[in-house]
Amino acid sequence: MAKRVESPSSINTFKQCQRKYYYQYVKKLPTIPNIHQIRGNIAHSTLENLYDIDVSLFNEENYETKFKEAIQKLLFFYWKKYEPKLKTLNLNKDQERFYFEETMLMVMNWINHFIKEIDKLMKEKNISLQEAFQQLTPIREQKYVSDNYSVQGFIDAIHLIEEEVHIVDYKTNANFEFKDSIKLQLAIYSLLYFEKHGKLPSKVGVFFLRHKLKLMNVEEELLELAKREIGLIHSHTSITEKISDYPRCITPLCKWSTGKCDFYEVCKPHK
Ligand code: SF4
């Protein structure tokens, strides 16, 4: 049986519940769109495209206001663009307004940090606003695929800061913590980066959009974690596709007060 190309999400799904992995990646049953995914996509597109705006007319007097206006416009644009998908969720007007405003607060929080970074860089290096903007612009939405490990990932932002490389993922999570699933995702990105460039990134981390940037150093043990988890999943999924080999893991993540697992109806964990 050929090795499937895994990703941080597929591996984390496997670790959470093997039956869920089976439905999603072996049977390829459709997942159900939800507001958290859609608004996550909207926030990602907004931040990604902020770096493409024309800043030639920005100056030291107006740049704060101009950046804030630009990100608001981008959020409006992408919210509108995703309207057909948002409609499928059947949110009422109040719910949609709540999520829109919450997302606006997140991107405004992010732009406030970005403005501080621009300001700091201009002062430290005595460079123009346009030069600082260009230096802070990361490589964005980069796809990395490893044939060797049979794994792939999309990296949100790769910052080249003098001699250092920082890999950053954006998250809308309420919690400001590196839980195990995030650590594994960052470990896989580090491994993919190392394999392609022959150099470890200096730091990896997450910009928690409700909070701030959180980074950690990349040590050899992070790569070992990625290799171990990738090896474990392949050793299981490349030898069997029988449903009975993918047991249910029944936890509160099957069904909670406001939602349920995408495969709850087919899985019937409580019957
Ligand atoms: S409903 Fe629960 S047991 Fe079933 S696939 Fe989902 S998470 Fe796993």
Assess whether pLDDT exceeds 90 at residue 258.
no
Instruction: Reply yes or no on whether the pLDDT at 2 is more than 90.
Output: no
Q: Is the CB of 151 under 6 A from ligand 1?
A: no
**Any atom of ligand 1 within 6 Å of the Cβ of 188:** no
> Letter for the amino acid at 150?
S
13 lines ligand 1 (CB under 6 A): no
Is-contact 159 165, C-beta < 8 A? yes
Note the pLDDT of residue 252: 95
Question: Looking at residues 102-127, what average pLDDT do you find?
Answer: 97
**CB 269 near ligand 1, within 6 Å:** yes
Taking the chain, what is the end-to-end CA distance rounded to the nearest angstrom? 32
Binned at pLDDT 50, 70 and 90, residue 182 comes out as very high
Top mutation candidate among 32, 249, 262, 268 for ligand 1, by most atoms within 8 Å of CB: 249
Instruction: Give me the chain's average pLDDT, please.
Output: 96
Q: What is the rounded CA–CA span in Å between residue 96 and residue 119?
A: 34
Q: Other CB atoms closer than 10 Å to residue 157's CB: what's the count? A: 20
Q: Tell me: pLDDT of 271 over 80.
A: no
Q: Taking residues 208-220, what's their average pLDDT?
A: 96
Ligand 1 contact via 234 beta carbon (within 6 Å): no
Burial class (CB in 10 A: 0-12, 13-18, 19+), 2: exposed
pLDDT band, very low/low/confident/very high, at 157 (cuts 50, 70, 90):
very high
Confidence class for position 78, pLDDT limits 50, 70, 90: very high
pTM of the model as a whole: 0.95
Report the pLDDT averaged over residues 205-216: 96
> Does 47 have pLDDT greater than 90?
yes
Q: What is the pLDDT of residue 1?
A: 76
| 267 Cβ below 6 A of ligand 1 | yes
